[in-house]
Amino acid sequence: MSTVGFFTLAIAAGLLTETVFRLLRLRRIEEIIGATPLSVYRNSPMMYMSVQEACYMGPRMIPRYVVFRFVPPLIAFLLVAAISDRNEIDSRTTLLGLLATAIVAAIARVIPSGEPTPLSLKVHLFQGIVLLLVFAEGTLVWVASNLLDLSALAPTSQGLVDSLWSAMLVAAVIFLYLSLLRVKPPIDPLEQSLTNAKTDAVLARFASLQSQFRHIVESACSTNHCSKNLLWAVLIYEDMNRPAFVRIIENWLVRLPGVSMTVGIGQVASLTPLTDEQSIERAASLLANSEAVMTRYDLEQNTDANQKLAKYNDDPRYTDEICQILDIVNIGSPGA
């Protein structure tokens, strides 16, 4: 195999593997939650999930991200290294080929999705770390190829073509079979199940946070005339998207010179690390004079509270998610 042919293969392997895994992931999540979530396009668990996504992914969000972020390039790296070993390509060329594969995977991950919302500094830092890990993964495969003979993993040209046609035929048969048998019930049990799961998840998170922060929330709301229901809704949603270990990482990143980011369970902007309690106090001050807000209807009718929540997070979807949680909190614990 020529050097040009090897580099073409390395680029194609990275692009094909990344595309297939991304389509599989996107299709699966669309089937489960009925829509394409922003976090799929942004390819980062640092982006906000909806309550429904959080119920579906739950604590599996990070493991899922690790699998879909690092397994596709690993497969591509192993394929390129195996073909390199089979064709006895020199070590330096193999390393360059693996780096080309890594670059393709990196480019695929940073292509803009068309979403108007700009990425925050926090997300850029996170993506930078992940991309470095992908390059490290390729380097480790290169080291392994120097120590081990990976040629047994390389497919033959004819075998690859036969396998491709077989896979396409099986996929077509399965697709037609499932399409013919699919009958949509008058009431979608999955939708009802997700609705129940969303309510249960919010109430469970509410009970957990109350056991930890009830005193500080009541004190902060009393001082700032802030709606307890509204503050609890914000804390529940932020905790779903920024669990404790993520907040620890954020408090380390904010120590970098000149870096400002949202930290703590309240996810308030800061130039220094904040405890969860400190962030709750700041969150209450940002939502001050909203004590009349108890439900979604109250929030929609209260222009001042709406504007303050918009300043807290200006994404319209954020407000909608808070409204959903607000009603659940109000039903689950009136006057919380």
Q: For 69-126, write each residue's pLDDT tens digit.
A: 777 788 888 888 888 888 888 888 888 888 888 888 777 655 544 444 455 666 667 7
What local confidence, expressed as pLDDT, does residue 11 receive? 83
In-domain check, residue 145: yes
Q: Which has more confidence, 45 or 253?
A: 253
In this predicted structure, what is the pLDDT of residue 61?
A: 58
Tell me what pLDDT residue 332 has. 61
Answer yes or no: is 161 within a domain: no
Q: In 3-state terms, what secondary structure has residue 263?
A: strand
User: For residue 193, is pLDDT > 70?
Assistant: no
Q: Based on the fold, state whether residues 202 and 65 are members of the same structural domain.
A: no
Is 59 in the same domain as 195? no
> Which has more pLDDT, 151 or 234?
234
| Residue 183 maps to a domain | no
Query: Is the same domain home to 304 and 259?
Result: yes
Where is the domain boundary, 141, 156, 171? 156
The reply to whether 128 and 270 lie within a common domain is: no
Angle at 174 between CA 169 and CA 178, to 5 degrees: 155
Q: Are residues 18 and 91 in the same domain?
A: yes
Average pLDDT over the chain, rounded to whole?
A: 76
3-class SS of residue 290: coil
Please say whether the beta carbons of 232 and 207 come within 8 A.
Answer: no
Q: Are residues 95 and 139 in the same domain?
A: yes
Based on the fold, state whether residues 146 and 235 are members of the same structural domain: no
- Write down the pLDDT at residue 45: 46
Residue 133 CB neighbour total at 10 angstroms: 14
Instruction: Decide if pLDDT at 265 tops 90.
Output: yes
* CA proximity to 68, closest of 104, 28, 112, 32: 28
Range of the domain at 248: 189-332
In a domain, 89, yes or no: yes
Whether residue 221 is found in the same domain as residue 144 = no
The continuous run of DSSP H or E covering 147 comes out as helix 121-147
Interior CA angle at 44 toward 61 and 46, to 5°? 80
Residue 325, in any domain of the structure = yes
Residue 334 has pLDDT above 80, yes or no: no
Shared domain check, 206 and 98 = no
163 domain-assigned: no
The better pLDDT of the pair 164, 154 is held by 154
Burial-class residue 212 by CB neighbours within 10 Å (0-12, 13-18, 19+): middle
With DSSP H G I counted as helix, E B as strand and the rest as coil, what are the percentages for the chain, rounded to 5?
75, 0, 25
Residue with tokens 């930290």: 263
Last residue of a domain, one of 137, 156, 175: 156
Give the integer Cα–Cα distance in Å for 278 and 268.
10
Is 131 in the same domain as 218? no
Give the CATH number, domain containing residue 258. 1.10.530
- List the Cα angle 279/309/55 in 5-degree steps: 75
Task: Establish if 134 belongs to a structural domain.
Answer: yes
On whether the CB atoms of residues 323 and 296 are closer than 8 A, the answer is yes
pLDDT at residue 32, as a whole number: 41
For residue 16, count CB atoms less than 10 angstroms from its CB and return exposed for 0-12, middle for 13-18, buried for 19 or more.
Answer: middle
Both 64 and 197 in a single domain?
Answer: no
Between 296 and 124, where is the model more confident?
Answer: 296
Same domain, 247 and 202: yes
CB 332 within 8 A of CB 203: yes
Q: pLDDT confidence of 21, banded at 50, 70, 90?
A: low
Partners of 261 in the β-ladder: 270
Tally of domains in the chain = 2
The per-residue pLDDT for 69 is: 74
Report if residue 71 sits inside a domain: yes
Structure tokens at 280: 């709750």
